Structure 1
Amino acid sequence: MDAFLHFFEVMPVWQKAGWIVFCIALFWILEGYYSRFHLKYKKWKHAKVNFGLLGFVMVINVFFGAATTGVFVWLQESSFGVLQLFESPVWVKLVLSLMVLDLIAQYGVHYFLHKVTWMWRLHLVHHTDKNVDVTTGTRHHPLDFVLRELFALLAVVIMGMPISYYFFYRILSVLFTYWTHANLNLPFWLDKGLSYVIVTPNMHKFHHHFQLPWTDRNYGNMLSIWDRIFGTFVYDDPNKIVYGVDIADHTNDESLLVQLNIPFNKTVKSKKS
């Protein structure tokens, strides 16, 4: 187990970038054969703005990773965190760490991104996509991504986890992000069955419905248990889903500059408005 985790600790940047490319390519190809919705759009044109936002995110990720190295050094030297309070096998501590990261850095921050007005204006960019597919997983305003990273760091500090746990979580999170956004037509029984444990493509698509209350449901990324525990889970007929978000439906969802400006665009109303 130690050797397995060490691999993620020393994993070079090019391999991490390669993992992102692999996941996008895999689900891009599968969408071509097993698509859930027949979207009437130009796929490469649609992907352009999402890949543009991915570029910003990857740059931020490199700088953020370098800036937070000191936190992991401090955790190692200080023995701070929940994991230091008990003895258990490595795999137990890893599973607990992944669950806390999924709760705080995925479900938790996602909930606040919908409920806090100024945070929602950043997150709107993710919801303005009117043709949700695998590339929508890359569609985050740069400041939205910074908030997510800060919440992840909070989870790291609370648990006092080693950096290898965090990097392993990031690899899993990338896979789930593209899996849940991919336009995949899984058998209904399989998708709904899996949704009792993990987030599935259909389950997450309800979150991308253009109107409340579904927009404020299914916040999870990997585990669906948080939505079930906190009463934010929904599963209905996927054919009822209409992509986009009604309060910003007039914006150009395929313009990078328009999307970057959405948080500051006064013509885009908040949910409270």
Structure 2
Amino acid sequence: MPVWMKAGWVFFVLTVFWILEGYYKLVFTKYNKWKHAKTNLILLAFVMLINLFFGIATAGIFLWLDNSNFGLLQLIDVPVWLELLFSLLVLDLIAQYFVHYLLHKVQWMWRLHTVHHSDKNVDVTTGTRHHPFDFIIRETFALIAVVILGMPIGFYLFYRILSVLFTYFTHANIALPKKFDKTLSFLFVTPNMHKFHHHYQMPWTDKNFGNMFAIWDRLFGTFVYADTSKIKYGLDITDHTNDEDILGQLKLPFNKTIHYKNKL
């Protein structure tokens, strides 16, 4: 997919949920939405630049897969729709749930991931908020999943389209009807479900790691669903930092004044 097309899809989804946030708010907090967005969108610009290099690597991997017939999908003979569903599940497990779990549990990874969690006003633009090194780790795991499966490029493209949609949907400051949100969360990650993950303290911070499918959190015992009014955004160990200072956020993982809790 050309970079301009990726960027177009990202900004289209961002715009849709930005508009919806104006009508169906979950949290009514006063903050400068444009100033807040500026920090997150600058981080998105870094991500898009990194995407240029990963695009080259991805193209090379798919060329190799076409010629080698490597991967799990080459070993099974099922209808295409089953192959696609299987690919989406494995990609979501490895490139979303598993790497997200590691980003919370391995201390040097957690340092990078704190940039995402330091946002004190979670809205749709928070979905773009990743330290460049955090994003590199995520993209690497996505390519590992591609190689394991040996999937066609069309499957990967469909996954990326859905992944972007769910990322901004789940971060958006929107309120779905509570019963609908909770019912939907039996299968898919929902806005309410993901907001618990952005609570400033444990244990909720280390729950709900999924991006598209909620089944992984339920299966591995990391699912939580409670009262959204108890959620406070941010991160206890970085609350003294300015979450809208772009240079401060880029340096946050290396800030020696932050005392990280024991992890692996």
Pick the TM interval, shorter chain.
over 0.9
In structure 2, how many angstroms separate the alpha carbons of the residues matched to 1:153 and 1:269?
Answer: 33
1:66 aligns with 2:62: no
Name the CA distance, whole Å, in 1 between partners of 2:66 and 2:217: 33
Match of 1:112 in 2: 102
Q: 1 CA distance for matches of 2:77 and 2:34?
A: 51
Partner of 2:257: 267
Say if 2:169 is the partner of 1:179: yes
Q: TM-score, normalised by structure 1?
A: 0.95
Question: Which of 217, 223, 226 lines up with 1:236 in the alignment?
Answer: 226
Deviation at 1:157, TM superposition (A): 0.7
TM-score, normalising length: structure 2: 0.98
Matched to 1:26, the amino acid is V
Q: Which residue is 1:135 aligned to?
A: 125
Partners of 2:2 and 2:139 in 1: how far apart?
19
Cα drift, residue 93 of structure 1: 0.7
Q: How does 1:118-197 map to 2 (within 5 A)?
A: 118-197=108-187
What SS does the aligned partner of 2:226 have?
A: coil
Residue by residue over 1:70-123, the C-alpha shift from the partner in whole angstroms, topping out at 9 and shown as x without a partner, is 211111111111000011111111110010000000000000000000000000
| Structure 2 unmatched runs, 5+ | none
Query: Aligned pair 1:32/2:22, yes or no?
Result: yes
SS in 2 for 1:140: coil
After alignment, is 87-96 or 169-178 more displaced? Answer: 87-96
Over residues 152-194 of structure 1, what are the superposed CA-to-partner deviations in whole Å (9 max), with x where a residue is unaligned? 0111011111122111111110000000000001111011010
1:3 maps to which residue?
none
Identity %: 69
The reply to whether residue 23 of structure 1 matches residue 23 of structure 2 is no
| Cα distance in 1 between the residues matched to 2:254 and 2:7 | 31
Which residue number in structure 1 is paired with residue 207 of structure 2? 217
Structure 1 residue identity aligned to 2:181: D
Residue 89 of structure 1 corresponds to 79
Runs of 4 or more off by more than 3 Å in structure 1?
none
**Distance in structure 2 (CA, Å) of the matches to 1:209 and 1:271:** 16
What secondary structure sits across from 2:110 in the alignment?
Answer: helix
Select the residue among 211, 225, 249 that pairs with 2:239. 249
Amino acid at match of 1:45: K
The 2-side partners of 1:205 and 1:213 are apart by 13
Q: How far, CA to CA, are the matches of 1:69 and 1:20 in structure 2?
A: 20
Equivalent position of 1:5 in the other structure: none
Instruction: Map Cα deviations across residues 133-158 of structure 1 (whole Å, 9 max, x no partner).
Output: 00000000000000000100111011
CA offset at residue 68 of structure 1? 2.8
C-alpha separation between the residues in 1 aligned to 2:176 and 2:46?
A: 32
Aligned residue identity for 2:27: F
**Is 1:57 aligned to residue 40 of structure 2?**
no
Instruction: Count residues with an aligned counterpart.
Output: 263
Give yes or no for the alignment of 1:44 onto 2:34: yes
Q: Aligned AA for 2:121?
A: N
What one-letter code is carried by the residue in structure 1 that aligns with 2:208? N
What SS does the corresponding residue of 1:100 show, helix, strand or coil? helix
Which SS does the other structure have where 2:48 is aligned? helix
User: Aligned partners of 2:109, 2:173: CA distance in 1, in Å?
Assistant: 27
Corresponding residue SS for 1:110: helix
1:226 aligns with 2:216: yes
